[in-house]
Structure 1
Amino acid sequence: MELIVDDQAPIHVSGREHALTGTAAAAQEAVRLALDCEELGWDGYWAAVDPGTVRHSHMLTAMASAAATITGSIRVGTGLVLPEDGGPVRGAAGFMSLAHLHPRRTDLIVATDPDAAHGTPFPGPRLTALLAALRYEDVHGSPTAPPRIWLTGQRAEDAAVAAAYGLPFCLELPADHLPRPDFLDHYRKFCRTEAGPGAPRVALALRIACADNPDEAAALQALLAWAEPPTATARPRTLVGTPDRIRPHLAHLLDLYRPDTLAVSTPCPDHALRIRSYTLVQDLVTGLRPAP
């Protein structure tokens, strides 16, 4: 199973102890995180879309570019929200610059509009325009290998669109989610493999904060409460605890959803705690992987 660091907390409110301000500081933190996770043996780093923290594609591209430049082997991804100001063509051009510079290593994560009302259909025309722009860039820019394009979301409609377009799908799960493996069963059954490369492929995006002992877990919980964006709901978004507490939950999710990729976000502004969390999660996943 592929392991991806899903960096969804690159920018925090200024004036706080752990604050990062602006694109430059966020890119520095991205480089540090990506390099550390590559050394740990993770497969990729995403400067990914979290609509509550970052919306602008140029910030994400800057962070992903910085991470790709300093690392040597891991995949590096960035995200776009559809629809976004300026339209998909501009976003595609910025992303393809990254793909040209780092062929065979790039992912694009496409998210739905976070401001859309519940039940609003996925913006198909925008997605069609984006994919057309990427294919145009692919033909005329001729990168060594095409980027991998993911659709991400929490709804059955999102999974159905990914299947219709023949794209890999990333299912986002809050900590208190209601089990819906049928989303992915439908996706796997109806995915148009002839429509795009690399599908069907399923990623599970989880927020996990793991610590060695209950005291450190409590410290992580306090930092996570501080780092949550102002628009966050009261429901829990992150699974927090020691390995013994997290192991059965993670084992259940991996068995239920059977992902090809696990994208883990630890939205904590303390770098050392975040790296320790990723180390513990990696150990957990290694122990839960089926024997070859």
Structure 2
Amino acid sequence: MELIVDDQAPIHVSSQEDGLTGTALAAQEAVRLALDCEQLGWDGYWAAAGLGTTGHPHALTAMASAAATITGSIRVGTGLVLPADGGPVRGAAGFMSLAHLHPRRSDLIVTPDLDAPPGPRSPGPRIAALLAALRHEDAQTTLDTADPPDRTSPRIWLAGRHAEDSAVAAAHGLPFCLRLPADELPRPEALDHYRRFCRTEAGPGAPRIALAVRIACADDPDEAAVLRALLAWAQPADQPTEQPATTAPPPSARPRTLVGTPEQVRPHLAHLLDLYRPDTLAVSTPCPDHQLRLRSFALVRELVTGRRPTA
């Protein structure tokens, strides 16, 4: 199973360290996190668009490029939120520059605008426009190079929370990243259509399913309590409160952030992996403390590695 660090909160609203604030500090920590996680054995780092990052697409691309430059082998991705108004697609040139600078290591994670007004919300037409823009930029860039386009094209993911999002990914032959919502029960059947109808000839990397989950894991209950307090501090007031993991998850357990020791997190994570059977696990740990977050990633990797076949 491919393991990806899904950095959902790389933009700091207010912080200071060595004279760096906001985006500057976020960029420094993102590069450090990518390098640390490569050394831990993770397969990739995504500076993915999430809460508080949608207004900083160029900063996300810059972070991903810096992370790809300092690391040696992991995949590096950047996020893009599709505009709800169906406006022109921007940023294709920047994403293709990242892909050409780091061939076969670049991911683009595309997310429909979650703040779109009620009504038709299918991202299909916007995805088609984005893919056309990326193909155009790819062709323009490769005119003066000897590299074939398929060598430098990024792996383009469609991320979403609904069955219709996975259907769009299947129609375009894209890998699909399922982001588990915090206010709904698990619905693995949302991936049935994707697995049956994904057009594998339409794009690189498909069919492939990523499961994006939030996990905060600590060595002992005291550190887990610290993590839980930090998560509560960072969590917006209108979001569900994080719940501690228990040792026996019911089949209908809500997919909130898993917080606890490895013994507490293991059954919940195993339950989700058994339900969704992902090819990729994308883990986000929304904790402002770098060392605690890095330790959490180390523990999560140990948990997932323990589930891998020995053969």
- Structures share fold, TM-score greater than 0.5: yes
RMSD, aligned α-carbons = 2.2
Contact 1:83 1:123 in 2 (8 A): no
Q: Where does residue 166 of structure 2 map in the other structure?
A: 159
Larger mean Cα displacement after TM superposition, 79-88 or 165-174: 79-88
Q: Any unmatched runs of 5+ in structure 1?
A: none
Give 1:247's aligned amino acid.
R
Q: Where does residue 53 of structure 1 map in the other structure?
A: 52
In the alignment, structure 1 residue 253 sits paired with structure 2 residue 272: yes
Give 1:146's aligned amino acid.
S
Q: How does 1:17-96 map to 2 (within 5 A)?
A: 21-50=21-50, 52-55=51-54, 56-83=56-83, 87=87, 89-96=89-96
In the alignment, structure 1 residue 233 sits paired with structure 2 residue 246: no
Structure 1 residues 88, 271: closer, same or farther in 2, change over 3 A?
farther
Larger mean Cα displacement after TM superposition, 132-141 or 209-218: 132-141
Structure 1 residues 114, 94: closer, same or farther in 2, change over 3 A?
same
Residue 137 of structure 1: CA displacement? 1.6
Q: Where does residue 190 of structure 1 map in the other structure?
A: 197
Contact 1:175 1:239 in 2 (8 A): no
Give 1:233's aligned amino acid.
Q
Q: Any unmatched runs of 5+ in structure 2?
A: 143-148, 243-255
Q: Partners of 2:222 and 2:184 in 1: how far apart?
A: 26
Contact 1:210 1:240 in 2 (8 A): yes
Larger mean Cα displacement after TM superposition, 192-201 or 64-73: 192-201
In the alignment, structure 1 residue 278 sits paired with structure 2 residue 297: yes
Q: Partners of 2:84 and 2:95 in 1: how far apart?
A: 14
Residue 119 of structure 1: CA displacement? 6.5
Residue 89 of structure 1: CA displacement? 3.7
Q: Partners of 1:137 and 1:3 in 2: how far apart?
A: 29
Contact 1:175 1:207 in 2 (8 A): no
Q: Secondary structure at the match of 2:309?
A: coil
Larger radius of gyration: 2
Contact 1:169 1:201 in 2 (8 A): yes
After TM superposition, the score normalised by the length of structure 2 is 0.87
Structure 1 residues 139, 148: closer, same or farther in 2, change over 3 A?
same
Q: Partners of 1:246 and 1:157 in 2: how far apart?
A: 30
Residue 16 of structure 1: CA displacement? 7.8
User: Residues 150-173 of structure 1, C-alpha deviation per residue, up to 9 Å, x if partnerless?
Assistant: 000111111111111110000011
Q: Where does residue 262 of structure 1 map in the other structure?
A: 281
Q: Where does residue 123 of structure 2 map in the other structure?
A: 123
Q: How does 1:170-185 map to 2 (within 5 A)?
A: 170-174=177-181, 177-185=184-192
Residue 174 of structure 1: CA displacement? 3.9
Q: Partners of 2:24 and 2:209 in 1: how far apart?
A: 32
After TM superposition, the score normalised by the length of structure 1 is 0.93
Provide the identity percentage.
Answer: 77
Larger mean Cα displacement after TM superposition, 28-37 or 78-87: 78-87
